Amino acid sequence: MFERILHANDGSEGAMKALGAALDLARRHHAELHMICVEELPSFPATMDEVREERMEAQHRFTQVIARAEALAKGQRVRLHAHVLAGHPVRVITEFAREQRTDLLVTGFMGHSALYNRVIGSTTDRLVDLAPCSVLVVK
């Protein structure tokens, strides 16, 4: 049913739950599994040093996320292709899913207040709306 699965991982608890579901689906369907971590840069950085500092922090955080994900994948006998890209998460994830011809996007649910979701919206909601494939949201 699924040949190419993409998992979006920001390092949160919800994302790690979603990783478990993505690994299980990839194993059962013998699907190719990609994981994307998006390094969100400041919208209006004051200096180039601010951009460099942000990238260093994100790289360090995602190194640990990727190492944990690879260990879990190895335990499930699933090959994981990890990618770290920079930009706005929704745009980067949807473009990557389109380019990779992804069948399924697996993402975690991030709980925010009802007011936050009404005013700002959530990344998960926007991914469900804009993804070029089916989306599985894991709670």
Q: Are 23 and 136 in contact (CB under 8 A)?
A: no
pLDDT score for 116: 46
pLDDT on residue 123:
85
* Full set of structural domains in the chain with CATH: 4-138 (3.40.50.620)
pTM for the predicted model, two decimal places: 0.83
Mean pLDDT to the nearest integer, 40-69: 71
Q: Rounded distance, CA 38 to CA 13, Å? A: 16
111 residue type, one letter: G
- Confidence band of 122 (pLDDT split at 50, 70, 90): confident
Whole-number pLDDT of residue 26: 98
